[in-house]
Structure 1
């Protein structure tokens, strides 16, 4: 009986994943990412107080977010049309897109591993992460009109 329940649960999970909307899923993750980076940027700019514990928590949340980006699942063939700003360049250069994403994930992990002790260290990390985001947006994102 237990095996049957597990099998049914697995099938339900697979079925729900099959009906997931990769465009909405990736947009949700990117909006979450933007809020996290935005909060860290306010601290780096001096618009909010630096609190090492809060910064580490935000960086850890950013790492969780970054690790949720499964390129193959969120950017399948055919998900380049509809309400999306994903550029066709993603599918033309999937290897480059994956490499860009992998660099971002590595930089977020490095930021968590070397949690900033002060605002100046955070500024350096935000500069690196912002550069990663900018590279991806300039190359793999279509600007909304």
Structure 2
């Protein structure tokens, strides 16, 4: 879990740069989110021990990541072309896309505020966050392959 905390700290440094290319920048944020979630998944699945402080740090990193996702800056008109898996549905239903992201952000903030005391509490929170991610991916992401 210490490796997860170190990795999260390093990812925060990488993610702090100003947005230059909306496609690359949003992909970087999503990769960062995936790495953080992957670390939490290892705890949920028993592959890593539950350490309350490290789990809270990871949840806080997810919150910071979600707060950095500036939809207007990262999904401007015309950024649906190129090397991206962002579905056209984003631009067709921007309000819906923003609502899905707002729910995810609210759920991440709730998980941070609840500061899970054990793996069972984390599992419940992680299931909610995973559901949020799945909803977005099913509707607003083009499946690879």
What is aligned with 1:113? 113
SS in 1 for 2:35: helix
Q: 1: CA distance between counterparts of 2:35 and 2:126?
A: 13
Gaps of 5+ in 2: 1-16
Give the number of equivalent residue pairs: 129
SS in 1 for 2:38: helix
What is aligned with 1:135? 135
What is aligned with 1:33? 33
SS in 1 for 2:132: helix
SS in 1 for 2:122: helix
**TM-score w.r.t. structure 1 length?**
0.87
What is aligned with 2:73? 73
Gaps of 5+ in 1: 1-15
Cα RMSD after superposing both structures: 1.2
Q: 1: CA distance between counterparts of 2:111 and 2:74?
A: 25
SS in 2 for 1:43: helix
SS in 2 for 1:83: coil
Q: Tell which structure's C-alpha radius of gyration is larger.
A: 1
Following superposition, the deviation at residue 144 of structure 1 comes to: 1.1
What is aligned with 1:94? 94
Q: 2: CA distance between counterparts of 1:135 and 1:42?
A: 22
Q: 1: CA distance between counterparts of 2:41 and 2:114?
A: 17
**TM-score w.r.t. structure 2 length?**
0.87
Runs of 4+ in 1 over 3 A off after TM superposition: none
SS in 1 for 2:63: helix
SS in 2 for 1:98: helix
What is aligned with 2:14? none
Deviations 1:92-136 (A, max 9, x none): 000000000000000000000001000000000000000000000
